[in-house]
Amino acid sequence: MAMLLQLTTFLTQYLYGSNNAVPKQPDALRIGILSTAAINSAAIIHPAKSHGGVIVSAVASRNLEQAQKFAKQYDIPKAYGSYDELLNEPGIDAVYISVPNGMHGRWARKALNAGKHVLLEKPFTANADEARSLVQLAVEKKLILVEAFHWQFHPAAHALKALLDSGKYGPILRTYARMTTPKGSIPRSDIRWQFALAGGSLMDMTYVISSTRYFLGAGTPREVAAAKARPTAEDPRVDEAMEATLRYDMDGRMVESKIYSDMWRPNAFGLIPRIWETPSIEIETEYAIIYFYNFMMPHLYHYITIYDKRTKTTTTEKHYSGGPQWGNRGESWWSTYRYQLEAFVDMVRGREPAHWVTLDSSIAQMETVDMVYEKSGLGKRLPTPE
């Protein structure tokens, strides 16, 4: 289902981005893209069309012809046949990095050393050691570095977080986050299955940890009580699926959080792809059971149901704009990526963003990923060798 959501986002962002294009400001932030990955169009190219303060001015690939083809397709002024060439371009203010997982740390490091601000695709790095090193460099360089957990920038996420933080339904008791893709949706030739590129379901679907931590307001868990991987037949080091139980110490209370990621989800009854399984999280509190359907791409469709244990009633909420953090800013057609871009530009320009994924949070995220992999017996992921 995650793949279908991405394809739908590509289409909607193309339509909305083209129909809502705006003139560019003279001092617009000039962004370069490292890689010609499919995610680029939804994540940065189309959102930038409706932001007057952003120009996507260059793209780089390790193959010049491929970069030129991509640049022509999306009307990007410059194309480079190597990532280093783009980073050496003085007219580039920031870069969006969407290279394979195992290369995130290396190219983010090179970008920072080249004086560029960085919007870095998830997962932040291959592991926590690399994350800590990268964060230290960003702080030393006084440059903006942020992990692109786009879903966290959406009003729906903020509305639910505010509800939980209000205490209206009491403290959180447990959580369960799930993200799956039907069997066969991601070809086995895809980079996400390659150990050398830090592949695996938990790395690609790290949203299950991100959502758990965000709604709990937590860093790393006290412990990973259990973790079970379903390795691929082709490479037992790579997880086809991962399930784990995390335990968080929340002000003296123990909260148990279960997560499940599956990039090869078996069909129902062996026949029907589980396309209804969007990335979702269930949160039980003292007085309610809350379910956020499609937290990863709520701009397409989502709902938040709240079952009140006291009244035995269920209410449903939807939030596409405004909310406790954006207020009057934003439009109902903005995608999670468009909200994220708004915050990124604000941060680079020295303005207070409506929401932000902190560097400490990204370190805690990778520490948690490492803990799960270690507990599962697969071992933490490693950066791709140069």
In whole angstroms, what is the distance from residue 278 CA to residue 3 CA? 10
In whole angstroms, what is the distance from residue 355 CA to residue 317 CA? 21
What 3-state class would DSSP assign to 53?
coil
- Report yes or no: 359 and 139 within 8 Å, Cβ to Cβ: yes
- Report yes or no: 97 and 118 within 8 Å, Cβ to Cβ: yes
The residue type found at 260 is: Y
In whole angstroms, what is the distance from residue 147 CA to residue 150 CA? 9
Q: Scanning the structure block, which residue is given the tokens 């931590």?
A: 213
Q: Is 161 a catalytic residue?
A: no
Burial class of residue 218 in the structure, from the number of CB atoms within 10 Å of its CB (0-12 exposed, 13-18 middle, 19+ buried):
buried
Point out the catalytic residue in the list 116, 122, 161, 375: 122
In whole angstroms, what is the distance from residue 342 CA to residue 90 CA? 23
In whole angstroms, what is the distance from residue 77 CA to residue 95 CA? 15
In sequence order, the 6+-apart residues with CB closer than 8 A to the CB of 81 are: 60, 61, 62, 63, 64, 65, 67
Catalytic residue annotation: 122
